[in-house]
């Protein structure tokens, strides 16, 4: 588990889940800084952290990675993904690849950067595409698909650059001469999505 900063509401909700966990395997530590911000981790890096509970081994905030319902949600949202692909003229195998890389089909996934939902929309992107509730899977899917379509147009159907822009922002791609920005996260992301895309192309049409 990485170090996470939580609001008081998020902290209360998460603690409710932790205390009622059926089994316990991994220690969780809490630290409150001088501004009242709460941090949780399973790897404390200074003496200010205090152990508060033992919880399920491998527990994390809902980041989407290793999401247990990935396969189930892939089937559940499959028709909506196919519809969005048709509407926005994108290969639905590509949308599946992006969603798998972004959230592992977890509609309530929240990244450390604040991206939310199936296609991990940031607040500014959600606002741009009229997505009011980023945890609404259909609205999130629509906004993310429209954004990806617009990026494909902006970068003349260059999929690599569109994916890099989806991860790092179009301005970053433009700033680096319309090339993948030299960010390890973005470079890994592009490779991962392309890998998933190839896999999905083999298992589904489009």
Q: Which residues are catalytic?
A: 102
The dihedral region occupied by 43, where left means phi > 0, alpha psi between -120 and 50, and beta the remainder, is: beta
CA-wise closest residue to 124 among 110, 105, 98, 143: 143
Element (H, E) at 79: helix 70-87
Residues 6+ apart with CB under 8 A from 83: none
> Residue 154: exposed, middle, or buried by beta-carbon count in 10 A (0-12, 13-18, 19+)?
middle
Instruction: Report the SS3 class of residue 156.
Output: coil
Residue 82 DSSP one-character state: H
CA-wise closest residue to 146 among 168, 161, 131, 160: 131
Tokens of 206: 């489009």
The answer to whether 194 touches 163, Cβ cutoff 8 Å, is yes
CA pair distance 25, 148, nearest whole angstrom: 40
């Amino acid at each position: 588990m990485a170090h996470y900063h939580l609001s008081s509401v998020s902290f209360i909700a998460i603690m409710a889940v932790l205390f009622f966990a059926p089994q316990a395997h991994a220690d969780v530590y809490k630290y409150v800084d001088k501004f009242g911000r709460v941090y949780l981790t399973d790897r404390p890096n200074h003496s200010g952290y205090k152990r508060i509970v033992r919880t399920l081994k491998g527990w994390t905030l809902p980041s989407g990675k290793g999401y247990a319902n990935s396969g189930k949600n892939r089937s559940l949202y499959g028709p909506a993904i196919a519809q969005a692909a048709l509407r926005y003229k994108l290969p639905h195998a590509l949308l599946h690849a992006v969603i798998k890389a972004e959230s592992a089909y977890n509609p309530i996934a929240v990244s450390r950067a604040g991206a939310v939902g199936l296609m991990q929309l940031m607040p500014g992107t959600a606002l741009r595409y009229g997505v009011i509730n980023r945890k609404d899977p259909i609205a999130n899917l629509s906004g993310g698909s429209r954004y990806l379509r617009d990026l494909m147009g902006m970068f003349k159907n260059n999929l690599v650059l569109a994916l890099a822009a989806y991860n790092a922002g179009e301005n970053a791609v433009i700033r680096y001469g319309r090339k993948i920005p030299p960010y390890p996260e973005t470079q890994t992301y592009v490779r991962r999505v392309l890998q998933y895309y190839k896999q999905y192309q083999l298992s589904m049409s489009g």
